[in-house]
Amino acid sequence: MKKKLVLYFSVYGTAKKTAEEIGRQADADVIEIEPAVPYDSDREHYNALARLAKKEHDEDMRPAIKNDLPVADYDTIFIGYPMWWYTFPMIIYTLFDRYDFTGKTIIPFNTHMGSGDGGTYQTIRELEPGATVLEGLPVEMTDAESGAADAVAKWLKSLNF
């Protein structure tokens, strides 16, 4: 049996809720990508987080991942993240720099506030040419906050899960 993993990075909890829903419906293990230096998850400090995200993006930073992720143990890996500055957070670049996804099936998903996937699914294909990257699921933030069960079910069905 092929093992499935849902990896996600989330600051405000929307990607986490979507990840947990995918894990439940796809019968997959769920693990958070934890930054070595935690981000401020207080939404009242959103502008400060946005400035930090822009700085990381503009300086092509690679924030460290705190936890060891068992990527090698899984065949199919869902990877989720919020959209930051029309792309994924720079810690997702760290993920792809640090781990080998050759021969894996990657299934991306993201939360957003109107930018869809922002081209990130194609970026994953470019970063991981040795992996099979399936069609992703962009979830609008307010839908993600409620878990997006229907959207997840429809998407997983379209992927034959």
Distance spanning both ends of the chain, measured CA to CA: 13
Going by pLDDT thresholds of 50, 70 and 90, the confidence category of residue 111 is: very high
**Nearest CA to 5 among 65, 69, 67, 63?**
69
pLDDT of residue 20: 96
The residue with greater pLDDT, 96 or 161, is: 96
Is the pLDDT reported for residue 1 higher than 60? no
Question: pTM for this one?
Answer: 0.94
48: containing domain: 4-158
Going by pLDDT thresholds of 50, 70 and 90, the confidence category of residue 25 is: very high
101: domain CATH number is 3.40.50.360
pLDDT of residue 32: 98
The residue with greater pLDDT, 49 or 78, is: 78
| Count of domains forming the chain | 1
